[in-house]
Structure 1
């Protein structure tokens, strides 16, 4: 005769596997009888969960009683075997002068789209909407999941009044009381737009109030809300951390939260902004070549270095910056991150900007043992961010002398690289042509130094960072550069006609002969022992005007008059 096909737990209806099947002991039979209202036989079994519930109940511990009271099985059994003693909910009889939405389960209360895949609007969201918009969403109302990710503001009520019961009013009063208590404990309140002015937003977080609201949209639905901090508070903590470089202890004091809460807040906001926000405002894929040429290239740069009459060359300025870190306990990483040039451990991100200071991309960070030439070779050979398809032949790179070992490689790729000149062996100073060429490069290359300075204005990146933050340095730099691109003014911008005339003038002067240098070399004025001659003999040679030649009597008379005037004034 075949045996049972299924083995169900005697208390709960859950099917049990062979490894999760336990016989009912004698000490548990009375508890099982009391819970289920039935007498178990020798062939009945218990699941592991029900066995532990019975075991805890037998011991009589408080923990077991709490488990019994919170167990859904126990509640279901007691509700069926015993009459309910709880007070029934009061009917909706109180009418409030607040608009409300629909309360049905078949369609979304916001966009009215029918199901399925609708979720119940959480209590905290309903209460927050009541505070911000004075609209009541009835308990149990459902909405689409995407509305909870930032589109909840599109709410449209269907009724001008709301009829609620005593339970809803009590919950609302308790929530308002808790909000008032939380506001009293908050020292720096960012939930109210009017609490800080626009200038105070810039001083604390580096961006204006409107920019703060726009940045807030990128983290909605990606940062978990807690009773201790709201979404605005989380973003404010992150911005104040990277803008002012305050410690977690100071931020926990200002916002009245724990240091662990500050740490989790910074981590979650960094992860949220590192996605869509960075991809839309930084990287070679966030901007096209035509946009860089038309909107982010100065006319003076095209005049000085542009060789294409069509003006379709992209001019980029590259340079590496330093992010200082603490000494690592890992000996291998310690050696690779130590810079012999600076004499301290650091990391080197590669900054690529346009001639107006717009951040095109940030690569890295790289270890300190890599120089600028090896970094740009790695970027081009690895084709990071598909740079070799974005950069075309005859494009122009403005670099410094640290890229000297990569000039041949860039020329092989068809890229025109311009760098300040070096002095030849045995020279004490640059030639006139080399000095003028270096001045033309410096006239355009200064913008990347200002861009590096703008990054360091966010004090967190200007400090010495702990080793625990090394994996996230690249994320912080990219977020800062994205904020600068989206919300701050460009570093360099001017009138196109004025810059074109200035560029033509610089090109003309750079090709002129240094007349003063020729005269010094021809007359040997650079020698220490010069051949001096009387002034009278030089009048006809150098065209010195006789009106400026004074005799000894005239010189003494002039000096005496000045001395007499001084004595009269002194008296």
Structure 2
């Protein structure tokens, strides 16, 4: 049965024909089969043949008196019974490239088993062992993304697989699914295209590869390679107020709707910034003083705050903090502390008459913003009245119209499993640096245009 084969490969234990699979293993097999629909046809194809093959193997293993001399027919059947599959095969000529089907020149390379497995599971194309390709299609012995997309099936091939081959194929499929859960990797040239390299590092993929070749003095470690170290370094160079300029935010990260609602559509030297805080769940501390400062009576748990400064299209300019959750560290108090202390050199980046869109929780910091020459937009207060006037209600709607992107940015932060779950207190010293990973996240300009 296919589920018995899956359990064999998953637990590395052989199941006899009369043993049943438990519900936990059966649900794991069903989940794996649903996530790998391309393999379901293969499993159905050799279901009956593999059932007989596993039965013969179990009988052979469970009979200690069974030898080759006593049962030569049974042993012969076990050694020669195979499964024949119909597969889409690429060209395997030693004189032609299996990618571009051009005549091979002096610099030819053999397709490794890792590349052959990747193409089989991702493209459903079987590359025979010994196939060759041009060296220009490879980086660090891995096929480029363009090369993988360029491979076409050349013929229909009937491939014979033994029971050990099928078990090995299932193990490789499981590893392929587990490795596919990673968001991206600088080590694999197939994970990121040229636009994604420009988005993260501001250089093209070819320039990144050339830069890595010249960085031979960097020592790799068990936790990261040279390519990963260079990629992380280039990403960090693009973070914070020091990277993005004031005029660049006005021209590329300010929507026409926000400029029309806040500036009347005429100003071209005023930037519109949205400020809001997000909270992160942390572990309960045995330090009573620290626990009192981080415990929130509304949420009934320990929290830390981080102040986010984003543009009207969702581009995260900076993430400042982490701050305690006590009474003194409310939204207005944190904002005043950031402005008065000039945290992250924010006052050098902001210009006079720039607009800061905030909510009602920042009302006590409005006087500090105005004293620094900044303009703050905040929804109106009733102040004992029963309802707003038409003008005040429309102004509040305009502010809410441009502030919704900050909630989407907060949701993007919680998509990281590390921030969505409870953070251990031992890693709080690195929390501010960890939160800054959101600053390299792609902006919401595409999403905003569709709304």
Per the normalisation by structure 2, the TM-score is 0.52
The match for 1:450 among 391, 403, 408 is: 408
Task: Encode CA deviations 1:17-74: one digit per residue, 9 max, x unaligned.
Answer: xxxxxxxxxxxxxxxxxxxxxxxxxxxxxxxxxxxxxxxxxxxxxxxxxxxxxxxxxx
Query: For residues 223 and 323 of structure 1, what CA distance do their matches in structure 2 show?
Result: 35
Describe the shift of the 1:395–1:308 C-alpha distance in structure 2 as closer, same or farther (beyond 3 A): farther
CA contact (8 A) 1:273 1:479 kept: no
CA contact (8 A) 1:357 1:451 kept: yes
Alignment partner, residue 343 of structure 1: 300
Alignment partner, residue 434 of structure 2: 476
Query: For residues 133 and 329 of structure 1, what CA distance do their matches in structure 2 show?
Result: 62
CA contact (8 A) 1:450 1:491 kept: no
Query: For residues 336 and 174 of structure 2, what CA distance do their matches in structure 1 show?
Result: 48
SS at match of 2:356: strand
Structure 1 residue 456: Cα displacement: 1.1
Structure 1 residue 327: Cα displacement: 0.5
Structure 1 residue 381: Cα displacement: 1.2
Structure 1 residue 205: Cα displacement: 1.5
SS at match of 2:286: coil
CA contact (8 A) 2:309 2:318 kept: yes
Alignment partner, residue 368 of structure 1: 325
Q: Is residue 2:370 matched to residue 1:411? A: yes
CA contact (8 A) 1:451 1:491 kept: no
CA contact (8 A) 1:376 1:406 kept: yes
Alignment partner, residue 398 of structure 1: 357
Query: For residues 317 and 417 of structure 1, what CA distance do their matches in structure 2 show?
Result: 10
The match for 1:210 among 172, 182, 192 is: 192
Describe the shift of the 1:206–1:316 C-alpha distance in structure 2 as closer, same or farther (beyond 3 A): farther
Task: Encode CA deviations 1:265-321: one digit per residue, 9 max, x unaligned.
Answer: xxxx7xx876542231x2111111111111110111111111684421000011000
Alignment partner, residue 449 of structure 2: 494
Query: For residues 372 and 273 of structure 1, what CA distance do their matches in structure 2 show?
Result: 35
Describe the shift of the 1:328–1:416 C-alpha distance in structure 2 as closer, same or farther (beyond 3 A): same
Query: For residues 362 and 279 of structure 1, what CA distance do their matches in structure 2 show?
Result: 15
Query: For residues 326 and 333 of structure 1, what CA distance do their matches in structure 2 show?
Result: 11
Query: For residues 343 and 218 of structure 2, what CA distance do their matches in structure 1 show?
Result: 28
The 5 A counterparts of 1:482-561 are: 482=440, 484-485=441-442, 490=445, 492-494=447-449
CA contact (8 A) 2:276 2:308 kept: yes
CA contact (8 A) 1:283 1:361 kept: yes
CA contact (8 A) 2:314 2:444 kept: no
CA contact (8 A) 1:395 1:416 kept: yes
Alignment partner, residue 144 of structure 2: none
Structure 1 residue 431: Cα displacement: 3.3
Alignment partner, residue 224 of structure 1: 220
SS at match of 2:237: helix
CA contact (8 A) 2:306 2:320 kept: yes
Query: For residues 283 and 245 of structure 2, what CA distance do their matches in structure 1 show?
Result: 38
Describe the shift of the 1:99–1:494 C-alpha distance in structure 2 as closer, same or farther (beyond 3 A): closer
Gaps of 5+ in 2: 1-104, 109-131, 142-168, 202-207
The match for 2:289 among 304, 317, 332 is: 332
Structure 1 residue 231: Cα displacement: 3.5
Per the normalisation by structure 1, the TM-score is 0.42
Query: For residues 440 and 204 of structure 1, what CA distance do their matches in structure 2 show?
Result: 39
Q: Is residue 2:355 matched to residue 1:359? A: no
Describe the shift of the 1:98–1:311 C-alpha distance in structure 2 as closer, same or farther (beyond 3 A): closer
CA contact (8 A) 1:355 1:492 kept: no
Describe the shift of the 1:470–1:230 C-alpha distance in structure 2 as closer, same or farther (beyond 3 A): closer
RMSD of Structure 2 on Structure 1 (CA): 4.1
Larger Rg: 1
Q: Is residue 2:332 matched to residue 1:377? A: no
The size of the alignment, in residue pairs, is 276
Query: For residues 329 and 315 of structure 1, what CA distance do their matches in structure 2 show?
Result: 42
Q: Is residue 2:256 matched to residue 1:299? A: yes
Query: For residues 382 and 132 of structure 1, what CA distance do their matches in structure 2 show?
Result: 60
Alignment partner, residue 505 of structure 1: none
Structure 1 residue 458: Cα displacement: 1.8
Query: For residues 445 and 433 of structure 1, what CA distance do their matches in structure 2 show?
Result: 19
Structure 1 residue 185: Cα displacement: 8.9
